[in-house]
Chain A
Amino acid sequence: GESVGLHLPTLSVQEGDNSIINCAYSNSASDYFIWYKQESGKGPQFIIDIRSNMDKRQGQRVTVLLNKTVKHLSLQIAATQPGDSAVYFCAESRGNTPLVFGKGTRLSVIA
């Protein structure tokens, strides 16, 4: 069945390094993807989104890459900072179906 998942449950990076968080999806019909960041005690915060007609999209210090051939999504965070420590979720949808979220990856930034 369809699913959205993450390859790694935890990721530790040194402050200043770049982080890459990966996500695999199984539904080739998905046409919208979104990344959220959730800090402890807070609701998910929108980071960046991308539609299936794009391969790459950049925001402030973040880049999302979409590889439809292998159904893979990644979030790159440049110059990772302690404030980036959080759980990151990818989510996908197609048409008007509800967002399906992955389980999340916990990013820990080592000072």
Chain B
Amino acid sequence: KAGVTQTPRYLIKTRGQQVTLSCSPISGHRSVSWYQQTPGQGLQFLFEYFSETQRNKGNFPGRFSGRQFSNSRSEMNVSTLELGDSALYLCASSGKPGSGYEQYFGPGTRLTVT
């Protein structure tokens, strides 16, 4: 069974631009969560989607948004990029909604904002 895939793996953007990251969950998984990982803040929850509905949202500004498609693939968007948005963005999928179950992570997208 293929794991969670994320594209692109690396991305360099300029301040003020916007970016869209993509995540394909494990086949059959309908829950997708997004996390931001930085050396200073560690892993922080962004949002969770299940069956195309956002179930939970972390404490991030409105510039961070996401969506999920009917095939469970998910995208997250960051608008008006800031230097502090440079991070590893991780996607995780699970067979069930909520955090009380195993989540399987993808390799992440490394975003650098200059």
Contact = CB atoms under 8 A, between A and B. Distances in A.
B58 interface: yes
B105 A45 contact: yes
Interface string B68-95: 0000000000000000000000101000
B99 A31 contact: no
A40 B38 CA distance: 13
B43 A43 contact: no
Interface in B3-21: 4
Kindly state the interface size class of chain A when it binds its partner: 20 to 34
A99 B103 CA distance: 10
Contact of A96 (B99, B106, B107, B108): B99
Contacts of A104: 42
Contacts of A46: 102-105
Nearest to A101: B43
Contacts of B45: 98-100
Interface string A12-45: 0000000000000000000110101000011111
Given A32-B99, A98-B33, A103-B42, A44 B105 contact: yes
Q: Which of A43, A45, A104 has the most CB of B within 10 A?
A: A43
Contacts, number: 60
Given A96-B55, A98-B33, A43 B105 contact: yes
Q: Which 6 A-B pairs have the closest CB atoms?
A: A43-B105, A93-B99, A101-B43, A98-B45, A96-B98, A32-B100
Given A46-B102, A104-B42, 18 more contacts: A34-B103, A42-B107, A43-B90, A44-B43, A46-B103, A46-B105, A49-B102, A89-B42, A95-B100, A96-B56, A96-B97, A96-B100, A97-B56, A97-B99, A98-B45, A98-B56, A98-B99, A99-B99
24 contacts: A31-B100, A34-B102, A36-B105, A42-B108, A43-B4, A43-B92, A44-B43, A44-B90, A44-B105, A46-B102, A46-B105, A91-B43, A93-B100, A96-B55, A96-B97, A96-B98, A96-B99, A97-B56, A97-B99, A98-B56, A99-B33, A99-B45, A99-B103, A101-B43
